[in-house]
Structure 1
Amino acid sequence: MKNRIIFLIGIILLLYVKGYGQSISPITLNFEELSQLKEEDTNVKKIADAKRELVKRSNQILTNRKTYSVTYNGASLPGISKNNFISYHGYMWPNPKTKNGLPYILKDGKRNPYNEKISDRPMLEGLNRDIFQLGLAYFYTNDEKYVLWATTLLNCFFVDPKTRMEPNFNFSQVTPGKNETGGSIMEAVMFIEVLEGIQLMKSSPNFSQELSRNLNSWFGDFLGWIEESPKGKINALHKNNRGTYYTLLRCDIAMFLNDRKRATRIFKNEAYQRVIDQISNQGEMKDELRRATPLGYLKYNLKAFNELDEIGKKLGFDLFNYNGPKGESLKKAFEWLDRYKTGKLVWNYSSEGGITTPRRAMMKNEDENSVRFSVERFDNYLEILTSRSK
């Protein structure tokens, strides 16, 4: 919870910077709503404390001077270059019915810690955390030291031939003992915050045009892999959070590449259908409710839908207020969860902890024009704007 509050306030701090926005193009962040929060909040001490924590953590990144690369970790597969991202399905465990434990079997909701140790995922998590943190710190302080180190991290992970990652996820979430596995983009969604951090720093004179070109080339190739490769296209078939993130990630990368036409095409062709396929006319997400830990998956999927809605707004669409042919609605999904948070209904889908589900900021009052925010109120909302629980 502390990390989430610091994350929230860190973004709020961005709004205190004079003259922001002329050369910054946020993709999934909504500065208008955050600006409203800033105007309503009078708890200056909390903001000042968050500023100090933001700078402290960012300075620690500079002190640690840790770089990230898929070539650093112990992940490997026979005949596969270490420049490829390799990870193992987190919920897969050795098969107790076979001598060699193969093929691994699914234990939904129960993460295998060994799979994490031999995966490249920690490298991507580190890059995601540091780039976004440094982006926030730079945008607030205008201190170029944060950009200088961020460019080192980006060059290491995406550019340097010795350490760069190949732009594909052919070997992500592999299941030992099974053929034709890999290709899940669920770990690639961490690139969304990486790209947001880059957007916050691109106006710096120390963020070179050469680096921008290299990043555009890398993510252009990666978007091509998602849309054109057999493994990439499999993600489109999923009618749950994986399908939502497939649409969101592609829209996000297209916006990063300043290809609004492509982002518009993706959004129009897929975003509304995702609502129809996944949300009932009562607001339930039945596929997520079948999971061993449904609450976490509901929030995770709502996070994706919310960010997709933010991109849609920038393209002139309104996904939140859309109603499908049978009454399917993203707004109803928020309202459905909200009834559990307020105690109107009792959560009996799993034994997960207390209901701390997010509420859409605009849902405090029926009249969206009269919405009022508070730090505590908005903290609940930001649960779906931040990354998964850490």
Structure 2
Amino acid sequence: MHRPIYTRYLLIVMCLFSVTMVSQSFIRLDTMQLAAAKQQIIEGTASPQTLEAYSKLLQQASSVLKQDNPTVMDKSIVPPSGDKHDYLSISRYWWPDPKRQDGLSWIRLDGQTNPETQTEAVDRKRLALMGRGVYVLSLAYYFTEDETYATKAISMLDTWFINPETLMNPHLKFGQSIPGHPNTRPFGILDGRSIVQFIPDALQLIATSTQWTINKQTKMTAWLSAYLAWLIESPLGIKGSQLTNNHGSWYKFQVTALAMYLGQTDLAKQTIVVTEHSLENMLTAEGGQIHELERTRSFFYSCFNLEALTSIAKIGDDVDMNMWNYKTENNKSLSLALQYLAHVVNGAEWKHDTLKTVNKTDLLPIVAAFFDTYKTEDYRTLLRSILAEVDKDSRDANSQEFWLFHPDFKI
């Protein structure tokens, strides 16, 4: 069991903790957007799209209220460590080798999801359900101030991070494992984005709940501190920091976000600088993302990687670092990467391989981030074009979140 590192950080945090210890800045959310949306929803002046997004949020929160709390203890496959508290997932694009009777070692078929990797036997779906579920509940609590939502969110946090009988150990050593291969790959760190994208902001949203205590906050801070330490100190974490594709970008996002939440601004700034420098070898002269264009789902992974990079840039705003305008010595930048992708919105053909139809709405969180930063008519027009592609009956999470936090935006 990997409890020593968690226990060590718990003791440190208990000695140093105060209510103001953690950052008061959101990671993904925006304080002004939240306040404006809440006020307009209460007054009934929000756009129809925002009111619909809010209604969907409450429906989703009500659904989560009825679900059992996810826990790593529910998996049926025991990790190599023998400890079910260790997170376990299997890499989705790997399949049994048909040339071998036992199927080992598994082989990679990029872009083709093996359904056996997505079952309840491992933890990936549970982790995603926990992260998204806590986030949805915390937003519902913020907008309604109904303690029912906060109580369930806190219960889910307790099950996944705090209760010693059910908690996940703060590492991803067995994430994206592959049958027949040693556990020396850092790619499982990608799964951790389900924690870092949602949990720090959720903790900020539920901080005003009567159910949330200093003791619980202390233990959550200790868990996140231990996980950050694993990311930057462990052999797998160090390997993750050296990756130059979307895995490396989401690694850097996790480190930057956790460092900001935990008040380690120097580490956050250092990671942002490293991210800026990574653009030189990540992008072509035209803005194409070299490693993502090699994938069989090249448009999706290009958007996926750029979303990580823009998420880091948004955090940089809180420490006076303008990654948005950063250019390498060869003029490579975030805006150049977006321009390369945005042509498809205007009808240009995507010239790279892709197993699936290009989904223009994959660009939505990226373009929304650029619009929020620059507020230009060009980005407004691009946003409108993307939003026009969204099926009103779809369950597109990107469009729902956009409308929830942009109550004044006009189509």
Q: TM-score, with normalisation over the residues of structure 1?
A: 0.84
Deviation by residue 1:338-390 (Cα, 9 ceiling, x = unmatched): 112112454443242144152624877xx855678588568489849979xxx
Identity %: 24
Once the two structures are TM-superposed, the CA of residue 212 in structure 1 deviates from its matched residue by 0.7
The aligned amino acid for 1:154 is L
1:225-236 matched pairs, under 5 angstroms: 225-236=230-241
1:275 paired residue number: 279
Structure 1 pair 234–358 and aligned structure 2 pair: CA distance change class (3 A): same
In terms of mean alpha carbon deviation, does 343-352 or 85-94 score higher? 343-352
Q: Which runs of 5+ in 1 are unaligned?
A: 1-22
Q: Are the counterparts in 1 of residues 298 and 352 from structure 2 also a CA contact under 8 Å?
A: no
Residue type of the alignment partner of 2:107: I
Return closer, same or farther for 1:331/1:173 CA change in 2, 3 Å cut-off: same
- Which amino acid in the other structure matches residue 135 of structure 1? S
Q: Deviations over 1:242-271 (max 9, x none)?
A: 111111101111112122232122222x12
In 2, Cα distance between the equivalents of 1:285 and 1:48?
A: 37
Size of the aligned set, in residue pairs, is 362
Aligned to 2:154: 151
Residue of structure 1 aligned with 2:251, choices 234, 246, 249: 246
SS in 1 for 2:255: helix
State how far apart, in whole Å, the 2-side matches of 1:254 and 1:314 are: 12
Counterpart in the other structure of 1:206:
211
Give SS of 2:269's match.
helix
Residue of 72, 75, 86 corresponding to 1:73: 75
For each residue in 1:15-52, what CA deviation from the matched residue of structure 2 results, as whole angstroms up to 9, or x when unmatched?
xxxxxxxx96311224557889999x976333333322
Q: Aligned partners of 1:160 and 1:42: how far apart in 2?
A: 42
- Correspondence list, 1:1-390, <5 A: 25-31=25-31, 44-62=47-65, 64-117=66-119, 118-183=121-186, 184-191=188-195, 192-268=197-273, 270-356=274-360, 357-358=362-363, 360-361=367-368, 368=375, 373=380, 376=384, 379=387, 383=398
CA shift for structure 1 position 175 = 1.1
Q: Which has the higher contact order (CA 8 A, sep 6+)?
A: 2
C-alpha contact (below 8 Å) 2:90/2:177 kept by paired residues = yes
Higher mean alpha-carbon deviation, 208-217 vs 53-62, is at 53-62
How large is the Cα RMSD of the aligned pairs? 3.1
Give a deviation string over 1:135-170, Cα, whole Å, max 9, x none.
Answer: 110111111111111111111111111100111111
- In 1, Cα distance between the equivalents of 2:283 and 2:31? 27
Aligned-residue offset at 1:276:
1.9
**Partner Cα distance (1:326, 1:372) in 2:** 24
Cα pair distance change 1:244/1:37, threshold 3 Å: same
Shift >4 Å, 4+ stretches? 31-39, 361-364, 367-387
Q: Is the 8 A contact 1:28 1:308 kept in 2?
A: no
The offset of 1:77, in angstroms, is 2.9
Change (3 A) 1:243 1:386: farther
Report the alpha carbon displacement of residue 229 of structure 1 after superposing the two structures with TM. Answer: 0.7
